[in-house]
């Protein structure tokens, strides 16, 4: 029966289901919305993360940068008030060609392929990692279904990723501070920087990714410590099977 329903219809059904659930639980009223960006010049970077854009070159890299820049325009300087929830897809919207997005590399199920909006997972992963390092509350996060990198090509710790699939998998972060925050981004030809900004000081939290190599996968436990290392929080426990990358997508 599921195969008889067009993919676009299935996405719309999921969107309606998420909307109704958010309304019923009261989460909808807590979602951060777009605001005037000029009011937040007093917000200074408190926790910063910089990553290379990966090993891609040529049109693969340019398409990824294009998609990242479009999404960044939607997320830049959006104020998240105390108790409010940052939802990646609520702010970015549906990454369609009509919205200006292009095809980029993505993991679909157990395969590496291309899809419209591909490459945005690096942005969501950086936001997740920033949230971990800042002590924010993670309400929803999904790991990738496969690990496409080796130790030599990996640009972020395994376990710091957050895949996003419109209508199905979101990244949701709650501001657990007593003051407003926002995210800012800077992208160059080869790197991207993400900052958690605020008018108040934020102490960086230590995060540890404990890995265990298995025969065909890697198990990762994400541990977050309080500033004084008095307590440790198990944030997630994820399993990453290995994925062979086709040559034309490397």
Residue 228 has pLDDT above 80, yes or no: no
* Residue 93 CB-half CA count within 13 A: 14
In a domain, 242, yes or no: no
Q: Kindly state whether residues 1 and 99 are assigned to the same domain.
A: no
58-75 and 121-134 helices cross at what angle (nearest 10)? 50
Q: Supply the DSSP string of 139-182, one letter for each residue.
A: EE----SSB---TTT--S-TT-----BTTTB--EEE--SSS-BE
Q: Kindly state whether residues 52 and 163 are assigned to the same domain.
A: yes
pLDDT band at 153 (very low <50, low <70, confident <90, very high): confident
Q: Kindly state whether residues 94 and 168 are assigned to the same domain.
A: yes
pLDDT value at residue 58: 80
Q: With beta carbons less than 8 A apart as the criterion, state whether 10 and 94 touch.
A: no
Mean pLDDT for 136-155 is: 89
Mean pLDDT for 37-62 is: 84
The count of structural domains within the chain is 2
Q: Kindly state whether residues 43 and 165 are assigned to the same domain.
A: yes
Question: What pLDDT, in 10s, does the model give residues 197-215?
Answer: 999 999 999 999 999 999 8
* Residue 210 CB-half CA count within 13 A: 10
pLDDT band at 50 (very low <50, low <70, confident <90, very high): very high
Q: With beta carbons less than 8 A apart as the criterion, state whether 117 and 101 touch.
A: yes
Mean pLDDT for 146-171 is: 90
pLDDT value at residue 37: 54
In a domain, 208, yes or no: no
In a domain, 224, yes or no: no
Residue 246 has pLDDT above 70, yes or no: no
pLDDT value at residue 110: 59
Q: Kindly state whether residues 151 and 113 are assigned to the same domain.
A: yes
Q: What secondary structure letter does DSSP report for 98?
A: T
In a domain, 9, yes or no: yes
Least confidently predicted of 39-43, 108-112, 146-150: 108-112
In a domain, 5, yes or no: yes
Mean pLDDT for 172-197 is: 96
Q: Kindly state whether residues 138 and 175 are assigned to the same domain.
A: yes
pLDDT band at 88 (very low <50, low <70, confident <90, very high): very high
- For 155, counting Cβ atoms within 10 Å of its Cβ (0-12 exposed, 13-18 middle, 19+ buried), the class is middle
The share of the chain scoring above pLDDT 90, in percent, equals 62
The pTM score is 0.90
Q: Kindly state whether residues 57 and 175 are assigned to the same domain.
A: yes
Q: Kindly state whether residues 119 and 88 are assigned to the same domain.
A: yes
Average pLDDT of every residue of the chain: 88
Q: With beta carbons less than 8 A apart as the criterion, state whether 163 and 128 touch.
A: no
Q: Kindly state whether residues 76 and 128 are assigned to the same domain.
A: yes
In a domain, 169, yes or no: yes
Residue 68 has pLDDT above 90, yes or no: yes
In a domain, 243, yes or no: no
CA–CA dist 250, 149 (Å, integer): 10
Mean pLDDT for 232-239 is: 96
Q: Kindly state whether residues 73 and 116 are assigned to the same domain.
A: yes
pLDDT band at 168 (very low <50, low <70, confident <90, very high): very high
pLDDT value at residue 23: 85
Q: Kindly state whether residues 65 and 135 are assigned to the same domain.
A: yes
Q: Kindly state whether residues 164 and 109 are assigned to the same domain.
A: yes
User: Of 106 and 35, which is predicted with more confidence?
Assistant: 106
In a domain, 128, yes or no: yes
Q: Residue 62 belongs to what domain range?
A: 31-202
Contacts of 130 (CB under 8 A, 6+ apart): 47, 49, 183, 194, 195, 196
Closest-CA residue to 161 (of 81, 44, 49): 49
């Amino acid at each position: 029966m599921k195969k008889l329903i067009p993919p676009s219809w299935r996405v719309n059904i999921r969107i309606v289901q998420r909307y109704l659930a958010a309304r019923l639980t009261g989460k909808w009223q807590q979602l951060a919305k777009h605001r005037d960006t000029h009011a937040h010049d007093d917000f200074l970077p408190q926790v910063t993360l910089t990553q290379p854009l990966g090993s891609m070159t040529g049109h693969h890299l340019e398409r990824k940068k294009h998609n990242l820049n479009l999404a960044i325009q939607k997320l830049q300087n959006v104020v998240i008030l105390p108790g409010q929830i940052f939802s990646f897809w609520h702010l970015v919207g549906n990454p369609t060609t009509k919205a200006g997005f292009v095809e980029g590399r993505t993991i679909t199920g157990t395969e590496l392929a291309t899809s419209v909006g591909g490459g945005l997972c690096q942005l969501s992963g950086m936001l997740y990692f920033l949230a971990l390092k800042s002590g924010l509350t993670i309400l929803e996060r999904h790991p990738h279904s496969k690990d496409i990198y080796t130790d030599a090509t990996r640009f972020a710790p395994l376990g710091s990723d957050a895949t996003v699939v419109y209508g199905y998998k979101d990244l949701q972060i709650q501001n657990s501070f007593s003051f407003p925050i926002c995210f800012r981004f800077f992208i160059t030809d080869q790197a991207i920087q993400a900052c958690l900004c605020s008018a108040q000081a934020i102490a960086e939290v230590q995060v540890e990714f404990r890995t265990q190599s298995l025969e065909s996968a890697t198990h990762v436990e994400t541990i977050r410590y309080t500033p004084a290392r008095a307590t440790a929080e198990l944030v997630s426990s994820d399993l990453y099977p290995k994925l062979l990358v086709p040559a034309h997508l490397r």
